[in-house]
Structure 1
Amino acid sequence: MSSPEMVDYIRTMVRGDHEANDRVEARLDQLGWDGFPTLLGAVFYFAVNRRFDERTPPGEIMRFVADMRATTPPGAPEIDANSAETLIRAAVDPDIETAIDPQMAGRIQGLVILTILGDNAVDDDDLDALLAEAVALAERV
Structure 2
Amino acid sequence: MTVQALSELVRALARADWDSAEALVAEIGRGGWIGGLQVIGAAFTLAVNRYFGPGTTPTDVAAWVATTRARYDEGDTLPALEMEGLIRAALGEPQLVDNIPAETMIAAEIFVLGQLLLEMTLTPDELNEFVAEAEEVAAEYM
TM bucket (normalised to shorter chain) is: 0.7 to 0.9
Task: Name the CA shift for 1:104/1:19 in 2 (closer, same or farther; >3 Å).
Answer: closer
Give the equivalent residue in structure 2 for 1:135.
Answer: 135
* C-alpha distance in structure 2 between counterparts of 1:50 and 1:116, whole Å: 9
Identity %, equivalent residues: 27
Match of 2:69 in 1: 69
What is the identity, as a one-letter code, of the residue corresponding to 1:90?
Answer: A
Aligned positions, number: 140
1:19 offset after TM fit, Å?
4.8
Give 3-state SS (helix, strand or coil) of 2:114's partner.
Answer: helix
Tell me: CA distance 1:40–1:29, structure 2 relative to 1, closer, same or farther (3 Å): closer
TM-score (norm 2): 0.81
Report the CA distance shift for 1:66/1:29 in structure 2 as closer, same or farther (over 3 A). closer
CA 38–138 in structure 1, closer or farther in 2 if over 3 Å, else same:
same
RMSD: 2.6
Q: Quick check: 2:10–2:114 contact (8 Å CA) kept in 1? A: no
Confirm or deny: 8 A CA contact 1:49 1:92 kept in the other structure: yes
**Relative to total residues, which structure has the larger helix share, 1 or 2?**
2
Which residue matches 1:83? 82
Encode CA deviations 1:94-126: one digit per residue, 9 max, x unaligned.
Answer: 554422111111121111111111267211111
1:9-88 pair list within 5 angstroms: 9-21=9-21, 24=24, 28=28, 33-72=33-72, 74=73, 78-88=77-87
SS in 1 for 2:97: coil
Answer with 120-129 or 38-47: which moved more. 120-129
Equivalence for 2:113: 113
Q: CA 1:4–1:62 in 2, change beyond 3 Å: closer, same or farther? A: same
Report the CA distance between 1:33 and its aligned residue. Answer: 3.6
Instruction: Show structure 1 runs of 5+ residues with no match.
Output: none
